[in-house]
Amino acid sequence: MFHDTDEAGLGVVVCDHQGRVIASMSKKTRLPSSSDEVEVMAAVRAISFTLELHLPSVIVEGDSELIISALRSEEESFPSFGHLISSIKNLEAFSCISFSHTRKSAGGTHTVVNGRKYTPVTGYTSS
Q: What is the pLDDT of residues 61-120, one digit of tens each?
A: 888 888 888 888 888 776 777 888 888 887 767 777 888 888 765 444 444 444 444 444
Residue numbers of the domain that contains 93: 34-105
Please name the residues in contact with 127: beta carbons below 8 A apart, sequence gap of 6 or more: 17, 56, 57
Q: Provide the 10 A C-beta neighbour count for residue 46.
A: 25
Q: Is residue 125 part of a domain?
A: no
Q: Report the pLDDT value the prediction gives residue 105, as an integer from 0 to 100.
A: 53
Q: Report the pLDDT value the prediction gives residue 32, as an integer from 0 to 100.
A: 66
The pTM assigned to this predicted structure is 0.72
More confident residue, 3 or 126: 3
Number of domains in the chain: 1
Instruction: Return d(Cα 36, Cα 17) in angstroms, integer.
Output: 27
Q: Report the pLDDT value the prediction gives residue 111, as an integer from 0 to 100.
A: 46
Q: Is residue 18 part of a domain?
A: no
Instruction: Return d(Cα 86, Cα 115) in angstroms, integer.
Output: 33
Instruction: Return d(Cα 1, Cα 31) in angstroms, integer.
Output: 7
Q: Is residue 48 part of a domain?
A: yes
Q: Is residue 69 part of a domain?
A: yes
What is the DSSP code (8-state) at residue 56? S
Q: Is residue 111 part of a domain?
A: no
Contact yes or no for 58/15 (Cβ under 8 A): no
Q: Is residue 112 part of a domain?
A: no
Contact yes or no for 31/1 (Cβ under 8 A): yes
Q: What is the pLDDT of residues 4-61, one digit of tens each?
A: 677 777 778 888 878 788 888 888 878 766 778 878 888 888 888 888 888 888 888 8
Q: Report the pLDDT value the prediction gives residue 126, as an integer from 0 to 100.
A: 46
Q: Report the pLDDT value the prediction gives residue 110, as an integer from 0 to 100.
A: 46
Instruction: Return d(Cα 82, Cα 49) in angstroms, integer.
Output: 20
Q: Is residue 84 part of a domain?
A: yes
| Strand-pair partners of 78 | none
Q: Is residue 56 part of a domain?
A: yes
